Homo-oligomer: A and B are copies of this chain.
Amino acid sequence: MFDLAFHVNNETKLPYYRQLYWFIRTEIEAGRIAVGTKLPSVRELATSLQISKTTVESAYQQLVAEGYITSTSRTGFFSLPPEETFVRPSRTQTLTAHSGADETATCEIDFHPAHTDTSQFPKTTWRKLFNEVLNNMDDETLQFGNPLGEWGLRQQIAQYLQQSRGVRCTSDQIVIGNGLHSSIQLLWQLLNNDRTMLAMEDPGYTKVRSWFHRLSVPVIPIEVEDDGLSVKGLQESQANLAYVTPSHQFPNGMVMSYTKRKQLLQWASVRNRFILEDDYDGEFRYTEKPIPSLQGLDMNDTVVYIGTFSKSLSSALRMNYMVLPIQLLNRLMDLRLPLEPAVSRILQAVMERFMESGHWETHLRRMRRVYRKKHEVLIESLRAEFGSSIVLKGYGAGLHVSVTLVDHPRKEVELIESAESVGVGVYNFPQSREHTDSYSPTLYLGFGGLTPEQIRDGVHRLRRVWL
């Protein structure tokens, strides 16, 4: 049995299993545990480290879930190759989170772009509404529901989208899903006859690329310019479906200009072309009024709009929504797909009441205030600590910003490692095309899951190791 040089650290607040998890993950990513290595059994490791079996099990399971190790159940746990681990627990799973040299690095301060402020989750209201729903549910409501989602919730969402996001739709265009993946699966079935070819923003949301790829849809990377996707690049491609994040480009964060929006819609006005607008954090805009959706500008019934409750409420809910263009709604009816409801009818009912009663608007206003404050602290701290040695992009909206270190000699991976050595997690996002011009490392910092104090502290630590 090979030896794991792990020591429990009692000075951090991280539970033991998370420490062990981070330790093994770091070892694998750094290549110190070779691919295919058999790890000690749960019992062996618990004994040798003098920690409980449950602790080891929890750590191993987390590593299995995230694809760092595999379990064959009969013969034990084995390490897997470090790159492109198969499941990261977040929207930004495909961010490459390299770990550092410090063996007990635990990322006390994690600027993960997908983390949200869960301390704000309206627990009391949800408890109350859940009780109400269970008390008032008639027996029929506990039977199978509407496959497209409960009518009442779809009405609430349609109303919200009309008022707040400028989406033009009726309730029957709304389809409730349990995540972006489910929406894409359904969309694929609706588009399938069209020999779909997907244009993706580059850099863009790798998970989406990967899902389409698995569905055998060819994916064409299109350059992202300062005001959004290159429409010229799109026009020159063979694509008939364009995935875009116009409100806050993922990951770079810019807002797509009005001119470009019009050009994009013009491109889509040709028969059988569609735009997939992922408005993943469009609720959060701090400097100006929220920019209305691309869908709201569309006169040709070509935009599929997708939104989520993950950012504004909790990603643990697994609830999102898609607004189908009328032509795809008709196709859905024609195809008579044997659909099943994606989300528990009970949770849908709670969400409907949450929206109907005005709690949703109140909650959104509160979250905007909370995130605006964090956003302000992050920008101020970065400017105060780094001054002109960095260029900030993608701020003013969403839950993350991009930080480019001007003419900095070190590579992104090295910067991530040195950040981790002081307990700070930052992320990079490799572009699929080659860097042709002079290289400046760019890192992504999410602020949603951190307190203002943690943000200040984290940025301060970054300066110590980066400058």
Contact = CB atoms under 8 A, between A and B. Distances in A.
Interface of A: 58, 61-62, 64-65, 67, 70-74, 80, 84-87, 89-91, 93-94, 114-116, 118-119, 121, 123, 126-127, 130-131, 134-135, 137, 139-148, 151, 170-173, 178-181, 185, 189, 207, 210-211, 214, 310, 314-319, 326, 329-330, 332-347, 449
Contact of A116 (B67, B80, B143): B143
Given A127-B130, A135-B123, A336 B141 contact: no
A427 to B, nearest CB: 15
Given A73-B329, A114-B144, A127-B130, A343 B316 contact: no
Contact of A318 (B85, B121, B343): B343
A347 B144 CA distance: 17
> Taking each of A67, A143, A317, which has the highest tally of chain B beta carbons within 10 Å of its own beta carbon?
A143
Given A333-B70, A335-B86, A343-B178, A142 B121 contact: yes
A172 B73 contact: yes
A114 B334 CA distance: 25
Contact of A144 (B170, B315, B336, B338): B315
Contacts of A316: 141-145, 344-346
Contact of A65 (B61, B119, B147, B337): B147
A70 B330 contact: yes
A416 B189 CA distance: 34
Nearest to A124: B134
A330 B319 CA distance: 29
A340 B343 CA distance: 14
A211 B318 CA distance: 23
Contacts of A139: 118-119
Nearest to A69: B333
B336 A87 contact: yes
